[in-house]
Amino acid sequence: MALWVEIIDTNSKLISNNYLPSNVIHKEVGDGRNVSFWHDIWCGSTSLASRYNRLYHLDINKFDMAANKWIDGNWHIFISQREDKWKCSLSSNGLFSVKTIREHLDRVMLPSLNVVTTWIKQIPRKVNVFWWRLRLDSLPLRWNLSTRGVELTNLECPVCNSGIERQNHLFFECEVANDSWRLIRVWMDIGMPRFASLVDLQAWLDGLQTNSDSIVRIKAIMITVLWVLWSFRNGVVFNDVVIRRSSIFDIVKMYSFRWLKNRGNIVSVKVQH
Ligand SMILES: [Zn+2]
What's the gap in Å between 228 CA and the centre of ligand 1? 15
Q: What percentage of the chain carries pLDDT values higher than 90?
A: 36
Is there a single domain that holds both residue 151 and residue 209?
yes
pLDDT-derived band at 96 (thresholds 50, 70, 90) equals low
What's the gap in Å between 174 CA and the centre of ligand 1? 4
Is there a single domain that holds both residue 174 and residue 235?
yes
pLDDT for 56: 74
Is 232 within a domain? yes
What's the gap in Å between 273 CA and the centre of ligand 1? 26
pLDDT in tens, 113-155: 443 446 788 899 899 999 989 998 989 999 999 888 888 888 9
Dihedral (CA of 162, 163, 169, 170) sign: positive
Is there a single domain that holds both residue 205 and residue 140?
yes
Last residue within a domain, chosen from 75, 103, 133: 75
Is there a single domain that holds both residue 127 and residue 246?
yes
What's the gap in Å between 64 CA and the centre of ligand 1? 51
What's the gap in Å between 60 CA and the centre of ligand 1? 43
Last residue within a domain, chosen from 75, 94, 126: 75
Domains identified in the chain, total number: 2
HSE-up (13 A, CA, CB side) for residue 206:
7
Is there a single domain that holds both residue 132 and residue 185?
yes
Distance CA 56, CA 69 (A): 13
Is 85 within a domain? no
Is there a single domain that holds both residue 156 and residue 40?
no
Is there a single domain that holds both residue 166 and residue 253?
yes
Q: Name which of 224, 201, 217, 222 is nearest 127 in CA terms.
A: 224
* 101 neighbors 108 (Cβ within 8 angstroms): no
What's the gap in Å between 140 CA and the centre of ligand 1? 15
What's the gap in Å between 173 CA and the centre of ligand 1? 7
What's the gap in Å between 103 CA and the centre of ligand 1? 28
Residues in contact with 40: Cβ distance below 8 Å, sequence separation at least 6, in sequence order? 26, 27, 47, 66
- pLDDT reading at 263 higher than 70: no
pLDDT in tens, 223-251: 999 999 999 999 999 887 778 899 999 99
Is there a single domain that holds both residue 71 and residue 136?
no
What's the gap in Å between 166 CA and the centre of ligand 1? 9
Is 272 within a domain? no
What's the gap in Å between 172 CA and the centre of ligand 1? 9
What's the gap in Å between 114 CA and the centre of ligand 1? 33
* 235 neighbors 241 (Cβ within 8 angstroms): yes
Is there a single domain that holds both residue 217 and residue 139?
yes
Its domain, for residue 26, covers 2-75
Is there a single domain that holds both residue 44 and residue 177?
no
Distance CA 196, CA 191 (A): 16
Is there a single domain that holds both residue 131 and residue 36?
no
Is 90 within a domain? no
What's the gap in Å between 122 CA and the centre of ligand 1? 29
What's the gap in Å between 169 CA and the centre of ligand 1? 6
DSSP for 142-204?
Answer: HHHHHHTT---S--B-TTTSSSB--HHIIIIISHHHHHHHHHHHHHH-S-----SSHHHHHHH
Mean pLDDT of the chain: 78
Distance CA 209, CA 215 (A): 8
What's the gap in Å between 161 CA and the centre of ligand 1? 6
What's the gap in Å between 167 CA and the centre of ligand 1? 10
Is 104 within a domain? no
**Per-range mean pLDDT, top range of 65-79, 153-167, 256-270:** 153-167
**Any idea which of 57-71, 164-178, 194-208 has the lowest mean pLDDT?**
57-71
Last residue within a domain, chosen from 75, 108, 137: 75
Is there a single domain that holds both residue 141 and residue 213?
yes
What's the gap in Å between 138 CA and the centre of ligand 1? 18
